[in-house]
């Protein structure tokens, strides 16, 4: 039963982070787009992309 709770909490954390990114930046959390943005950084976008990848 404990495995189900851990999975539920982890899924809720990922979902919450994706929803927060959508609300704050108006962008959908797609890791390929975020990582690609780090290869060709735009000055205004670099901070949130690095923080998202590190978190």
Task: Give dist(CA 48, CA 33) in Å, integer.
Answer: 13
Alpha-carbon separation of residue 50 from 7, 16, 25, 36 (angstroms): 25, 18, 14, 11
pLDDT at 44: 79
pLDDT at 5: 92
pLDDT tens-place string over residues 1-55: 688 899 999 999 988 988 888 888 787 777 777 777 777 777 777 887 787 778 7
């Amino acid at each position: 039963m404990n495995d189900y709770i851990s999975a539920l909490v982890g899924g809720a954390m990922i979902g919450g982070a994706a929803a927060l990114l959508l609300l704050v930046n108006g962008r959908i959390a797609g890791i390929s787009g975020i990582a690609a943005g780090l290869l060709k950084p735009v000055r205004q976008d670099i901070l949130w992309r690095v923080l998202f990848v590190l978190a």
